[in-house]
Structure 1
Amino acid sequence: MELRRISDWTTLVGARIELRQQGRPVCSGHVDAVTDDGAILWLVAPADKRRIYEKAEFYEAWAQEEQTGFHYRASLSPLNDH
């Protein structure tokens, strides 16, 4: 499966994602937590500590559906709103 940009970060808790900044891969890992408004997420990378990322800094979350019943809003274009 190919990765898709996820515009609604509130749905990503527990998901494995690739984080990109302005289209360039930054890191990947599991989403540990997300703020209620979906503007900030905490990511745990396999060989790194838990880190915080903000949409306002042009980060994008990219993911694929890994399990049945896990759904989130994805966009096909990286040009959509952050």
Structure 2
Amino acid sequence: MDQRRISDWTLLTGTSVELRQQGHSVCRGYVDAVTDDGTILWLQTLTQGRRLFEKAEFYEVWASEERTGFHYKVTNSDSQ
């Protein structure tokens, strides 16, 4: 399955994702926690440990996992 951009971060806890910033891959890992308003998430990576990312810094979350309630932006990984 193609990766899709997730616009609502509040539903991501426990999901395997790729973080991108301005079209460039930053890292991959599992979402450890998300703030209630979905503006900040903590990502657990294999190589860099637990890291914090803010939506305001133009980070995007991309996932290939399908989950009920995910709000996808209509863009696939081939377009970005």
Relative to the length of structure 2, the TM-score reads: 0.88
Structure 1 regions of 5+ residues with no counterpart? none
Preserved CA contact (<8 Å) 2:3 2:64: yes
- The secondary structure found in structure 2 opposite 1:25 is strand
Structure 2 regions of 5+ residues with no counterpart? none
Number of aligned residue pairs: 75
Identity %: 59
After TM superposition, the runs of 4+ consecutive aligned structure 1 residues lying more than 3 A away are none
Report the Cα distance in structure 2 between the residues aligned to 1:65 and 1:3, rounded to whole angstroms.
Answer: 8
Q: Which has the higher strand share?
A: 2
Report the Cα distance in structure 2 between the residues aligned to 1:30 and 1:20, rounded to whole angstroms.
Answer: 14
5 Å-filtered alignment, 1:31-46, equals 31-46=31-46
Residue in 1 aligned with 2:48? 48
Relative to the length of structure 1, the TM-score reads: 0.86
Deviation at residue 64 of structure 1 after TM alignment: 1.2
